[in-house]
Structure 1
Amino acid sequence: MPDAFPNLTSPVAAELTWLDDPSIAPQLVTLTAGALRLVIAPGIGGALAAFYESTPDGPMHWLRPASSAAFSERDPLRMASFPLFPYCNRIRDARFAFDGATVDLSGNDLRFAHALHGNAWRRPWQAAALTPSSVDLHFEHEPDSQIPGDWPFRYRARQRIELSGEALRITLSAQNLGERPMPFGMGHHPYYPRTPQTRVYAEVQAMWHADADVLPTHLGPHPAVDALREGLSPDAFELDNNFANWARGATIAWPDEHRQLTMTAEAPFDHMVIFAPADDAQLCVEPVTNTTDCFNAEGPHEHVGGCVLQPGEEIAATLTWTPKRS
């Protein structure tokens, strides 16, 4: 993961200086609705660069804004959020068995020992159907046998992004364009401002415990499951874990700033990841359709997630982020 970001100790702590950079501005799409603003960088993995409210005192950030390094290094991991296709999180040793063959994804990114987050976040997306408050982003993958570890299935991914005066909505969809079945999962990877007072609320049934490589070992109870019901402090545990069978809703609250952001999801976003490393400013609460290493994992489908798209089959579901100030 990227180096820690400066902690956002107030809602206006991070100014968007890169918005005025003439080398960056042409890469961006900005949506507006009332006081809300959403800045998108289609060419950097179809990522969101900032989601904030314009106030007289400056931007009030609902997601952690992109750093300047995100643009100079073209790194979605330093953006506000980015899409996950055609699977979420890690695949052990970058290999899995499917349809009688071994799918080998090794070599697609030497930074990681295990395949990570699919391939759509590493590629540029195209923008279309732009209005002041909405845009379509799309990406089409054609397998290339000359690229080590390239995803061997052909598919199309889309993000329909809509901003209203009340909420941000992103409909993720994908279609299998190939002539054979394709294993599949999707999600989004949002980073949130993290302060000592930040709390995360969610209803979940159990947590996937993980090994040193952040790969799941077993599903079971954990104090974080109960803490989420009462309001989990990101500083309470060292977390990079999947939570199964959540209620498809989570609230990130900043009580000292009298504000909160509620994320809701449609099926099949039946899994949630919390990334909250100790002594770090990063905080992710991610809606996903599959647990880590789902293509290798053993267990009931409701605990593992993911699916198989048949040739021509399409899947779509919507995520919503609703800010509230009190």
Structure 2
Amino acid sequence: MRDVSLNPIRPPATELAWLDDPAIAATLVTLTAGALRAVIAPGVGGALAAFYEITTDGPLHWLRPAAHAAFEQRDPLRMASFPLFPYCNRIRDARFEFGGGTVDLAGNDSRFAHALHGNAWRHPWQVGARSDGSVDLHFEHEPDPRVPGDWPFRYRAQQRIELRGGALCVTLSAQNLAVRPMPFGMGHHPYYPRTAQTRVYADVQAMWHADADVLPTHLGPHPAVDALREGMSPDAFDLDNNFANWTREATIAWPDEHRRLTMTADAPFDHLVVFAPANDAQLCVEPVTNTTDCFNAVGMREQVGGCVLAPGEEIAATLTWTPQRG
């Protein structure tokens, strides 16, 4: 889903008008720490609706704020960021082989030809412990054989979202609740303000080239690899690609605004997706544990990512976004 116009770096306060809508506000959790604010929409896929700083000039947005329609349509794709469980990005033809059989995910969303982003983002999350600066969210999936394309493994996913140390920290965790092994991947899908001056910095080793369906074909060199190391303009290429073996640190900078946002990630967030389509408003720099179509991809595990969780096994890792001004 693509917006039709670029968001300015400092959107007018009216872009947060949904905060003044009592029906919407009642469903939100707002975290505060000094001038920083993080607004969470548990009912819309456990998504972040906004991450911004209060200034004398109005809200300074570090992530693209949610559109009002995101709440009306319960659409995480129009939020600031949303969690990805139990895999990231596309699965070719919505099926893969695992455990001696075919996992068929066809029919879970008619909008997409290939299964996309798992299923946790399509459901409301429950709110657990919370304080002024933190909140725990959880989602538990119970397979339903009556639902076409339902993920056939039972699992629990959790997010601990915190404002601490001048940063936004999100710890993602999951546990396999099934009685058999479960293939697994996770990530987060942040959108950033995009202008002509925006630059993206990341030390990556190679790029997964993709076909017309945005599915990977091979891992190899690309001019974007060097461009990212030097500070890439989102307008330089038409990207919706995975990058392998990044250093788990990336920076989105707005040099004309004298500010930058640095994202760091724990292992196993060893893969990075850059979505910077040509002639478009969107910019995503996504930390993920698996490449697109990882359950079907051919390659070494460190190139493909993802894992298999044994029954009862848990996994957890933290993502951090640190704003810097000046």
Specify the TM-score bucket, using the shorter chain as the normaliser: over 0.9
Pairwise CA distance, 1:11 = 2.0
For residue 308 of structure 1, what is the aligned residue in structure 2? 308
Q: State whether structure 2 residue 51 is matched by structure 1 residue 51.
A: yes
For residue 286 of structure 1, what is the aligned residue in structure 2? 286
Pairwise CA distance, 1:165 = 4.8
Distance 1:260 1:266 in 2: 20
For residue 252 of structure 1, what is the aligned residue in structure 2? 252
For residue 318 of structure 1, what is the aligned residue in structure 2? 318
Q: Deviations over 1:169-188 (max 9, x none)?
A: 00000000010000000000
Pairwise CA distance, 1:8 = 2.5
Does structure 2 conserve the Cα–Cα contact (< 8 Å) formed by 1:11 and 1:257? no
Q: Deviations over 1:127-173 (max 9, x none)?
A: 11110000000000000000000000000000011102510000000
1:94-109 matches, within 5 Å, as 94-109=94-109
For residue 6 of structure 1, what is the aligned residue in structure 2? 5
1:43-192 matches, within 5 Å, as 43-192=43-192
Pairwise CA distance, 1:310 = 0.1
Distance 1:98 1:12 in 2: 46
Distance 1:122 1:272 in 2: 22
Unaligned runs of 5+ in 2: none
Distance 2:317 2:129 in 1: 19
1:16 counterpart SS class: helix
Pairwise CA distance, 1:4 = 1.3
Q: Deviations over 1:22-80 (max 9, x none)?
A: 12111100000010000000010000000000111110000000000100100000000
Distance 1:5 1:253 in 2: 22
Pairwise CA distance, 1:241 = 0.1
Distance 1:165 1:32 in 2: 12
1:77 counterpart SS class: helix
Distance 2:256 2:119 in 1: 38
Does structure 2 conserve the Cα–Cα contact (< 8 Å) formed by 1:160 and 1:170? yes
Distance 1:96 1:139 in 2: 24
Does structure 2 conserve the Cα–Cα contact (< 8 Å) formed by 1:216 and 1:292? yes
Pairwise CA distance, 1:203 = 0.2
Does structure 2 conserve the Cα–Cα contact (< 8 Å) formed by 1:12 and 1:57? no
Amino acid corresponding to residue 318 of structure 2 in structure 1 = T
Pairwise CA distance, 1:3 = 2.7
Amino acid corresponding to residue 318 of structure 1 in structure 2 = T
Distance 2:229 2:188 in 1: 22
Distance 2:135 2:23 in 1: 22
Distance 2:203 2:85 in 1: 25
2:26 counterpart SS class: helix
1:229 counterpart SS class: helix
Unaligned runs of 5+ in 1: none
Q: State whether structure 2 residue 199 is matched by structure 1 residue 224.
A: no
For residue 296 of structure 2, what is the aligned residue in structure 1? 296
Q: Deviations over 1:217-273 (max 9, x none)?
A: 000000000000110000000000000010000000000000000000000000000
Distance 2:272 2:153 in 1: 26
Does structure 2 conserve the Cα–Cα contact (< 8 Å) formed by 1:89 and 1:117? yes
Does structure 1 conserve the Cα–Cα contact (< 8 Å) formed by 2:9 and 2:194? no
Sequence identity percentage: 80
Number of aligned residues: 325
Distance 1:296 1:140 in 2: 25
Amino acid corresponding to residue 286 of structure 1 in structure 2 = E
Does structure 1 conserve the Cα–Cα contact (< 8 Å) formed by 2:2 and 2:281? no
Distance 1:93 1:134 in 2: 38
For residue 209 of structure 2, what is the aligned residue in structure 1? 209
Does structure 1 conserve the Cα–Cα contact (< 8 Å) formed by 2:208 and 2:217? yes
Q: Deviations over 1:266-325 (max 9, x none)?
A: 000000000001000100000000000000000000100000000000000000000000
Amino acid corresponding to residue 198 of structure 1 in structure 2 = T
